[in-house]
Chains A and B, each alone.
Chain A
Amino acid sequence: MSDLIHASAVELAAQIANKTVSAVEVAQAHLDRIAEVDGRVNAFLYVDGDGALEQARAVDHAVASGQTLSPLAGVPLALKDVLTQTGVPTTAGSKILEGWRPPYDATVVERLRDAGVVILGKTNMDEFAMGSSTENSAYGPTHNPWDLERIPGGSSGGSAAAVSAYEAPLAIGTDTGGSIRQPAAVTGIVGAKPTYGAVSRYGLVAFSSSLDQAGPFARTVVDTALLHSVIAGHDPRDSTSIKEAVPDVVGAAKSADVSKMRIGVVRELSGEGYQPGVQARFDEAVELLRAQGAEIIEISCPSFTYALGAYYLIAPSECSSNLARFDAMRFGLRTDDNGELSAEDVMRHTRAAGFGPEVKRRIILGTYALSSGYYDAYYGQAQKVRTLITRDFEAAWASVDVLISPTTPTEPFRIGERVNDPVAMYKADLCTLPSSLYGGPAISVPIGLGDENLPVGLQVMAPVMADDQVYRVASAVEKALAQQWGGLLLDQAVAL
């Protein structure tokens, strides 16, 4: 394996800028790696070799002509297939969008292009981002590079696996209830959900609009922060986009200073249902933070217990409305248009053929929760619980700067283990749901291996627009553990 695929984004950008290596060589090394391992991992739905090399050549021209480069110019990236990119297909992991080539770039893609980031291809995901294992993809599951029999998490499992398998140093995912943080945790890498509204949703195929947020994956905290700073910022094309300046996440990641920080341990995110190995690594991480001068305070957030119930009513409700746009009339699949069937029947047949089982299940559930007679008991009540969860966070901020918990209750389960048990599957998101409902930033950083020798992550949550704080804490943990391990957790994985 070439050193180029193991290098961090920071190292690659520096080598490209000082002409030690060309962006084309870096892109080619990663395309070769994809060709070598992706048959086993299935992280990518589409590899855009020509497009990647063309973008890389443009960066090399810029270097040759002495232009000032962005901090990630020439660094390759894997893009979750839920963001539109012109020139290549966008499927959102669904048959209903098979072959669709969007006529416009997502704002995230536009920002990546402007920064000279080289997009290698589109990554696998649970259909329309509904899932926690990437098994709900219409194009087959992605495999966890640590153990190919295990799930890579979801819904951004392809993006996480691509970074973990050294197919790309950077990736973009989206997180609605944990879809960046949970895959990052179980594949042993770093993943962050920015504050809701910090990254534009323009060009992001909508699942649950009040929760959906795109964010970065990388193998180090500083790389993750750099990608965050490239994609975040106000966008007039997204009415929920935040106008305030993006916090200095890169500076915070580089400082890694947690002395005198007040860090809250959430009492409700531990105990029954949490694997002993997960709990043990978490407890060790708490001690590492204490040793670096942080003050550790136990915090109770009683409404977090209801996050799962609230989320699995709010998200399906919003999805049942959002996915109405797949009507077989303007884009995507149309089946059985035989001249006999009416438009409504063609719609029914197309949606039956184009949507997978979990998407249908959630549309039906959401339709139920929004229907008259049930609205107040389900959707209305869930929105009130959302208020209570937000109040728990706000009460916590009176005494602590950040909250921490394990990212997931367990290590990654086996592919197939939970597919017929939706509720067991939903519990993979237990720890990540509260900050999704609240809207604040959260990150997952590797903290070791659990009982089954598979990765365990630490989640750090912060107040709205205090994204810098989650990077500061994650970086402190990463630094302390790097001293113990002599490198990253990923160095302990068996090479593919």
Chain B
Amino acid sequence: MSAISRDDVAHLASLARIELTEQELNDYAGQLDVILTAVASISEVAADDIPPTTHAVPVVNVFREDVVTPSLDRDSVLDHAPAAEDGRFRVPRILDEE
């Protein structure tokens, strides 16, 4: 299992949409390496023929009746939005200006 570099952490942070400081990039690179070494023992387990468990209790296709039920009140939801306008969420620009 490979060691994690500062640049790897920077790439992961970018995928996870978190702006990290230089200090954080360096700290996490070292810490993630230690954590991955600590969990590496799971690779010793020969598990080629073992099916994965995704969920503790197997449940498949839980359906409800296809009937309309009330949803949350719009104003009570928008009350706690960072910004709202005309009954909608207001967000920063999502496209480049040019």
Contact = CB atoms under 8 A, between A and B. Distances in A.
Interface in B1-28: 1, 4, 8-9, 12-13, 15-20, 24, 28
Contacts of B91: 329, 343
B52 A329 contact: no
B52 A351 contact: no
A233 interface: no
A305 B41 contact: yes
A363 to B, nearest CB: 5
Dominant secondary structure at the B interface: loop
B24 A101 contact: no
Interface string A94-124: 0000001111100000000000000000000
Nearest to B4: A368
B19 A103 contact: no
A341 interface: yes
A377 interface: yes
B50 A423 contact: no
B34 to A, nearest CB: 6
Interface residues of A, number: 74
Contact of A464 (B41, B54, B57, B79): B57
B68 interface: no
Contacts of A464: 56-57
B77 to A, nearest CB: 6
Contact of B42 (A196, A197, A339, A382): A382
Contact of B94 (A305, A306, A343, A384): A343
A322 interface: no
Contacts of B96: 342
B56 A329 contact: no
Question: Which among B45, B50, B89 has the highest number of chain A CB atoms within 10 Å?
Answer: B45
A364 B52 contact: no
A310 interface: yes
B23 to A, nearest CB: 11
Contacts of B76: 103
A312 B38 contact: yes
A331 B81 CA distance: 4
B12 to A, nearest CB: 5
A125 to B, nearest CB: 20
Nearest to B75: A103
Interface residues on B, range: 35 or more
A387 B42 CA distance: 12
A363 B32 CA distance: 11
B16 A337 contact: no
Nearest to A305: B41
A456 B72 CA distance: 45
Contacts of A210: 54-56
B51 interface: yes
A373 to B, nearest CB: 10
Contacts of A381: 42-43, 45, 47
Contacts of B56: 196-197, 210-211, 437-439, 464
Question: Which among A101, A337, A364 has the highest number of chain B CB atoms within 10 Å?
Answer: A364
Nearest to A333: B82
B83 A337 contact: yes
A474 to B, nearest CB: 21
Interface in A345-367: 345-349, 351-352, 355, 357, 360-361, 363-365, 367
A106 to B, nearest CB: 14
Contacts of A449: none
A196 B57 contact: yes
B72 A103 contact: yes
A377 B1 contact: yes
B18 A385 contact: no
B82 A426 contact: no
Contacts of B47: 381, 384-385, 387-388
A383 B28 contact: no
A371 B38 contact: no
Contact of B17 (A348, A383, A386): A348
Nearest to A351: B18
A377 B83 contact: no
Contacts of A18: none
A368 B15 CA distance: 10
B92 A341 contact: yes
Interface of B: 1, 4, 8-9, 12-13, 15-20, 24, 28, 31-32, 34-36, 38-43, 45, 47, 50-57, 59, 62, 64, 72-73, 76-77, 79-83, 89, 91-94, 96
Given A343-B92, A361-B35, A384-B47, 8 more contacts: A100-B80, A306-B45, A308-B39, A352-B19, A365-B35, A383-B53, A388-B47, A422-B35
13 contacts: A103-B76, A330-B77, A331-B77, A337-B83, A343-B91, A344-B17, A347-B17, A357-B24, A360-B20, A361-B28, A365-B36, A384-B52, A387-B51
Q: Which 6 A-B pairs have the closest CB atoms?
A: A439-B56, A334-B82, A383-B52, A309-B39, A384-B47, A309-B42
